[in-house]
Amino acid sequence: MDFFGIGNAMRGMVEMYFRGARQTGRTTALVEHVQEGDAVIFKCRDHADQFKRDMRERFGKEVKVTCMVWRDGALPEALHGLRPRRLYFDHSVVEHFYREAIANVDFEITGMQKAWSTEPDSKQSKRARLEESRFIF
């Protein structure tokens, strides 16, 4: 359990940033930057398809760009053996990484407290006790 609530503060800060970054031209900037031979990783197929359309329709780019979908934290299979000129991650993938990193730190702290304490914290919330029970060393 994060006694000081730092994890919750980090989650809130990150979510505020992500919401504030909407409609700021991130995808447009990426479309303008990508060149022939580059690869872009997306969180979902719809975003990858929209990106390809944007490249063609809005910017008249007919460059060959490999667009792949990220699944379960594993490198997309299509990327194995492929050496793109540059590899880019769509903002949705980057946001996912940050959310997961914060959650993992919180989970590790809770697990260490459980593993190294001789008595459970009687003031822990029901949610924190449930999260602890899932921790595996």
Residue 56: per-residue pLDDT = 81
- The pLDDT of 13-29, averaged and rounded, is 86
pTM above 0.95, yes or no: no
Query: What pLDDT is attached to residue 136?
Result: 46
**Burial of 5: CB neighbours in 10 Å, binned 0-12, 13-18, 19+:** exposed
Return d(Cα 46, Cα 72) in angstroms, integer.
17
Q: Which residue has the higher pLDDT, 63 or 7?
A: 7
Q: Residues near 18 by Cβ (< 8 Å), separated by ≥ 6?
A: 95
Q: Report, in angstroms and rounded to the nearest whole number, the Rg of the chain calculated over CA atoms.
A: 20
Q: What is the mean pLDDT of residues 24-33?
A: 83
Tell me which of 13 and 83 has the higher pLDDT.
13
Residue bearing tokens 């949705």: 92
- What's the rounded mean pLDDT across residues 99-113? 88
pLDDT surpasses 80 at 120: no
